[in-house]
Amino acid sequence: MSIAENLNGLKAELPDHVELIAVSKTHPAEKVMEAYDTGHRHFGENKVQEMVAKSETMPSDIRWHLIGHLQRNKVKYIAPFVHLIHGVDSLKLLKEINKRAKQNERVIDCLIQVFIAKEDTKFGMDEKEVRTLIASTELQELEHIRVVGLMGMATNTDNTDQIKSEFKGLKQLFEDIKASDTPKHVEMNHLSMGMSGDYKLAIECGSTMVRVGSAIFGARNYPTNG
Ligand SMILES: *Cc1c(COP(=O)(O)O)cnc(C)c1O
């Protein structure tokens, strides 16, 4: 199946309230353009350098999502154009994003990455840290960021009960925060969970945004951790 067929098939299958981020990491611009030419505009990359390089050569109406771990010293490179940063895991990082957004006279949308997996290879904050962050007065002073939801990655396992319980836990936290009296700059609009192997389970558990790479573009031919 072609990239266009994979993408259109996937989109036809997703409920209306679920947004698809086509994860284009490691794939060259020509391949990504096959997806773009179907009308798709939301693309995800996990490396700053690769996202910057693609953004420079590809159409400017692409909405770039940074889905991987973001180092503070690299925020400046993506601040002019990034659409949504999925992997925010500290107040320090939010402060740096705020500073760089201000320099670019814009407001940058962010998701807080929550650690839900039973693995120690995944980044993110635990539930208590997320609640503390959201309640902090320092967050309220950041005029150039908006926290628009949460993101999480389930354990890489065949145990669907475990994956579901991790996704459901994140959904619960999302709903709790949404129902609470959130400070300005915090709106629980997006719950980013689900990848090629588990997006169906994620949607069952309340995901509103799925990040799908290999089910659209095929297998990646070099490792891309982090
Ligand atoms: C690579 C990646 C994805 C997509 O993974 P696939 O299994 O290829 O769909 C989703 N989210 C994050 C954070 C990733 O790094």
Is residue 223 over pLDDT 80?
no
Q: Which domains does the chain have, with CATH numbers?
A: 3-215 (3.20.20.10)
- Report the nearest-CA residue for atom 11 of ligand 1: 211
CB atoms within 10 A of CB 83: 17
- The helix/strand/coil state of 187 is strand
Helices (H) and strands (E) counted in the chain, each on its own, are 10, 8
121 pLDDT band, cuts 50/70/90, is low
pLDDT band, residue 226 (cuts 50/70/90): very low
Ligand 1 pocket test: pick from 46, 195, 196 the residue with the most ligand atoms within 8 Å of its Cβ.
195
For a pLDDT cut of 90, what percent of the chain falls above it?
Answer: 91
Confidence of residue 184 (pLDDT cuts 50, 70, 90): confident
The pLDDT score that the predictor gives to residue 1 is 87
Residue among 20, 23, 191 whose CB has most ligand 1 atoms within 8 A, to mutate: 23
Under 8 Å between Cβ of 81 and 75:
no
Output the ligand 1 site: residues, CB below 6 A.
23, 25, 46, 67-68, 153, 195-197, 211-215
Give the integer Cα–Cα distance in Å for 89 and 1.
Answer: 37
Mean of pLDDT over the chain: 95
For 167-183, the DSSP string reads HHHHHHHHHHHHHS-PP
Determine the Cα–Cα distance for residues 113 and 179; give it in Å rounded to an integer: 19
CA angle 178, 114, 131 (to 5 degrees): 50
pLDDT the model gives residue 122: 65
State residue 119's pLDDT score: 82
Helix, strand or coil, per DSSP, at residue 196: coil
Whole-prediction pTM value?
Answer: 0.95
Calculate how far, in angstroms, residue 32's C-alpha sits from the geometric centre of ligand 1. 15
Q: For residue 132, is pLDDT > 70?
A: yes
